[in-house]
A = this chain, B = another copy of it.
Amino acid sequence: MIVAGDGAFLDSTGASLGLRAESNRLNQMLVHLRRVMVDVAVIGAGQTKYGNHQLGLKGMWAEAAENAFASVDQNFDPRQVDEAFIGSVAFGGGQLGNTAALLTEHSGMEGVAVRRVENACASSGFALRDAWMAIKSGQADIVVAGGIEKMNDLSPERKRFWLGVSGDTEWERLAGLTFPGTYALMARRHFHEHQSSHDDLVHISVKNHKHGFENQQAHLRKQVSFEKAAGGFMVADPLTLYDCCPTSDGASCVILAADHVVRQFTDDPVWVRSSGAGSDRLALHDRPSITQLVATQKASKSAYSAAGITARDVDLAEVHDCFTIAEMIATEDLGFADSGQGGIFARNGEGIRNEGSVCLNPSGGLKSKGHPLGATGTGQAVEVFKQLRGSVESERQVRDAEIGLTHNVGGSGATCAVHIFGRDRNE
C-alpha cells in the first residue's frame, strides 16, 4: 500500500505499479490525486410534498426515501446503501436521540451506519457535504443524504423555541429578538447602505410564488401580485407576511454514488462538481457587516474554485430565502450580483426562470416551496437533480440547464453549505 510520511510516498504498491519515486513531482501529484480521486454523482432524489402533513416522522421519511429509490433508473435496493446522513434540527421533538437510526430502519436501510447532522436550517446541506466526503474517502460507494422536519406537531410556543434557538440565545433571543426581527435588521441596514428598498423584496416574493405555483411539491402554491405582496401585514418592519417563508413539514432524500458504480444505476447521473462550507459568528453584533454573510461567501468561493467555474456559469440556483432579504443578500454573496446590487438585480427580474441571467429558486424557494428546516438542504438538491435531468413539470423547466447550485444557510448565517452540480464532471 502507498504510505506517505514526512511528505514522502514510499512503498511496495508504488513499486509494483512501476512508479519510481522521482519524489517531489510525484508527491505533489499524489497529494492532488487524493483530492480528485473519486467523483460523486446523484443517481436518485425524491421528497415529500412540503406542507402540513398528517404523516409522522417515520411516514414522511419513508415517503421521501421511497420516492428517491424509485427515481433511480435501474432497480435500487436500499440494502445497497453503505452509509447515511440525515439532517434535522429537532425531528419534531418527540423521538429525539437516535432518530436517524429509526428512520433508516423504517426505510429498508437496515444496519447501515447512520447519524443525524444538525446545523439549524443548514442541517441537510451539511448532511449532503458529509455524504459526499464519505464517498470521496473511499469508505463508501453508495450513500444517502436526507433531511426531515415535523413542525406542525409542535405547539406555537415550541415552534418559537426551536426557531429562536438557531440564532444567538444569549444576546439575541433572551433580548426578545425573533428570527423575522433578525432578518428585518439586515434588511433595514441594506436599505440604508445601498440602493435597495422593500419594493425589491416584493419582486423576490412575487418571483418565488410564481415559480412555486407550478411546483406540485410546494407548500404555498399561489400566484401573488406585486400589489398584494407589497401590502401584506407587517411581521417585523420592513418584512411583511410575503417576505417570510412558511412553517412546513417535509422530508427529502438524495442518493449519491461513486463514479465506478454509477453506471450500474443510471446513464443519466447528475455530478456533484463541488462542495463548499463555512461558518461565521452566531450573533449579528459580532459580525463586521450584517448586509453580507461571510459563511456564504466562504462556502461559495471554495465551491466555485473546486468546480472550476464562476457564478456566471450557473444556470439555476436554489437559494436559501427564509426571508426575501436573505435571497437578496445571497444574490450578492454568491456572485450573481455585485456587492450592494442585489436590489437592482431583483428589480430587473434577473432571477426569473428563462427570462433573467440565472434562475433563482426554480422550485419556489423556501418562500413558496416551503421550509421544513432540516429537509431544506437536500430538498434543494432534489430540485437541481430534476432540473438538470429535465424531469420537472414541463412549464417549470429551466432551459438548457447544465449547471445548478444549492445554497443552504443555518440560522442567520452562522453556517452555510454550497454545492455545485453539473450534467458533466469537472474537467
Q: Which A residues are closer than 8 A to B by beta carbons?
A: 1-7, 13, 16-19, 26-27, 29, 31-39, 83, 89-90, 94-98, 100-102, 104-105, 110-123, 126, 129-130, 132-139, 162, 165-170, 259-260, 262-263, 275, 277-282, 286, 294-295, 298-299, 410-411, 414-415, 417, 425-427
Measured between beta carbons, the chain B residues less than 8 angstroms from A83 are: 277
- Could you tell me the distance in whole angstroms from the C-beta of A299 to the nearest C-beta in chain B? 8
Knowing A97-B166, A166-B97, A298-B111 touch, does A3 contact B410 (C-beta < 8 A)? no
Knowing A17-B19, A115-B118, A116-B118 touch, does A282 contact B39 (C-beta < 8 A)? no
Contact status B38-A34, CB under 8 Å: yes
The complex places the Cα of A53 from the Cα of B263 at a distance, in Å, of: 54
The complex places the Cα of A169 from the Cα of B91 at a distance, in Å, of: 13
Picked from B4, B130, B298, the residue with its CB within 8 Å of the CB of A115 is B130
Measured between beta carbons, the chain B residues less than 8 angstroms from A112 are: 278-279
Contact status A29-B4, CB under 8 Å: no
Picked from B27, B105, B281, the residue with its CB within 8 Å of the CB of A105 is B281
Contact status A98-B411, CB under 8 Å: yes
Identical copies of this chain, number: 2
Contact status B115-A263, CB under 8 Å: no
The complex places the Cα of A18 from the Cα of B21 at a distance, in Å, of: 12
Knowing A120-B98, A169-B95 touch, does A138 contact B136 (C-beta < 8 A)? yes
Contact status A3-B39, CB under 8 Å: yes
Additional A-B contacts beyond A100-B415, A105-B282 (19; CB < 8 A): A1-B427, A5-B262, A13-B33, A17-B19, A19-B19, A27-B260, A83-B277, A89-B97, A97-B119, A97-B411, A98-B282, A100-B119, A101-B119, A101-B414, A105-B414, A111-B278, A111-B279, A113-B279, A132-B137
The complex places the Cα of A27 from the Cα of B17 at a distance, in Å, of: 11
Contact status A102-B136, CB under 8 Å: no
The complex places the Cα of A35 from the Cα of B141 at a distance, in Å, of: 11
- Could you tell me the distance in whole angstroms from the C-beta of A90 to the nearest C-beta in chain B? 7
Picked from B7, B13, B27, B35, the residue with its CB within 8 Å of the CB of A138 is B35
Contact status B410-A97, CB under 8 Å: yes
Picked from B34, B162, B282, the residue with its CB within 8 Å of the CB of A37 is B34
Measured between beta carbons, the chain B residues less than 8 angstroms from A111 are: 278-280, 294-295, 298
Contact status B2-A37, CB under 8 Å: yes
Contact status B414-A98, CB under 8 Å: yes
Measured between beta carbons, the chain B residues less than 8 angstroms from A279 are: 101, 104-105, 110-114
Measured between beta carbons, the chain B residues less than 8 angstroms from A16 are: 29
The complex places the Cα of A126 from the Cα of B127 at a distance, in Å, of: 13
Contact status A282-B119, CB under 8 Å: no
Contact status B260-A7, CB under 8 Å: yes
Measured between beta carbons, the chain B residues less than 8 angstroms from A100 are: 118-119, 415
CB closest chain-B residue, reference A132? B137
Measured between beta carbons, the chain B residues less than 8 angstroms from A96 are: 89-90, 162, 165-166
Contact status B133-A139, CB under 8 Å: yes
